[in-house]
Structure 1
Amino acid sequence: MASSGRRQSRFHGRIEGYEQPCAHPGCTEAGEFRAPAGRGPSFDGPGDWRFLCLDHVRQFNTGYNYFEGMSPEEIEAAQTPYGGWERQTRAFSANGSPPPRWADFVDPLDAIGARFKPAEAARRDGQPLSEADRKSLRVLGLGTDADRNALRRRYAELVRRYHPDRNGGDRGHEKALQAVIEAYTQLKSRPAFA
C-alpha cells in the first residue's frame, strides 16, 4: 500500500510533475490529467487542453461525447474507416526508372529489398548486367565498367594472394579463393566481358 504522502502513479494519462491547479472552478487540487477544452484537433494543431484533478477528470469522462453537436452526416464521416481516401494522392516516383520485375528474382525477399535500393549504375557500353554479375564484380572488387582485361588481371592478382601454393601454405583464405574462382567463372562467359 502506498503511503498517504505519495500519490499512486498507476493511472494512465497522469502528467507527472505538472504544477498547475485543477481547471474546475473552486478546486485546489493539482491538475494532473489532460481533457479536451473546446476546439478539437484541426489543421492548426492538436487542439486546446485543460488540466483537471483525478476526481474532476473522471466526472468529465463520464459526460464526454465526442459527437455532441454533430449532424448525422458529420458523425458518419467521422466514423468511416476510409477517412482521407476520398482525396486524390500523387503517384510515387520511380526516379526515372521502372522498379525491378518480380520475375527477375529467385528469392522473393531479394525482390522486396531491390525495390528500395538505389538503382546501380549501368555500364557505359550498354551491356546488361544481372544481379549475379554485379555480385561477382563486388567479390572481385571491380566496378561495373570493367572489361575482360581488367577481369583477368584482377583474377590473377587475387588467386596469387589467396592460393596456398603462392602465399606460403596459408589455408586460411580457402573460402575467399573459392569465391574468387566462382565469380570469375560466372563473369568470363558473360557478353559484357566477351
Structure 2
Amino acid sequence: MKPYPKYFDKIRVRADPQAEAKAQAPVCQWDGCHEPGTHRAPVGRLKEGEYFRFCFDHVREYNKGFNYFSGLADSDIARFQKEALTGHRPTWTIGTNSGARSSPDFAQQRSGRAGYYNRVRDPFNIFGDQRTAPRERKAKPLEAKALETLGLTTKATGADVKARYKELVKRHHPDANGGDRGSEDRLRDVLQAYRVLKRAGLG
C-alpha cells in the first residue's frame, strides 16, 4: 500500500482569503509604510465616498485622531446634528398654511358630519336636505342606448322607465298595428332596451 494514495492528490485546500486580499491590496498610504493597505479610512468632511488605504496598525492610529467636524464652529456642529434628525431634509412648522385651514371648504372636510355625508351614498334620500345635491347618474353605453331607444334621459327613474315601456308596448304591439313589420321591429327594440335597463336596476 502506498503511503499517499491517489485520492489524496484530489483533495484541494482552500486558499486563505486574507492572504489573497493582502496580495491584491495597494500599498499602505502612511508615510514610510510598505505593508499592504487592506483597510479603508474616510478622507474627511465634504469628501464622502473617498478613502485612504492603510494597513491594520495605521488605520487604527488614523481612526484615533479622526474628527469629521474638525475646523467647524460649535454652532455649525449643532446645526448639523439637528438636521441629521430629519435626514437633512427640509421641515415646516405645524400651521404655516393657515389660509387653507380657515377656508370654508377645509372646515367642511374636517367636520365629522360633512365628511360622513361626502363619503356615504344615499340612494333612498335618508339624510334629506342635509346632503349636497345628488350627483347625476352616469349611464353605461348600453344603458344610455337603451334609454335613448325608450326616449328617456339619464335622469329617468325606475318608475319612468316602467311607464314608458308599457306605453310603447301598447303602441307598437302587432295587434294594435295590424301586423305592421316596422312596428314589430320597433317593439323588439323596446323589449331589448327594457331588458337591459331592468338588469341595471331601472325597471
TM-score by length of 2: 0.35
Higher helix proportion (structure 1 or 2): 2
Greater Rg, structure 1 or structure 2? Answer: 2
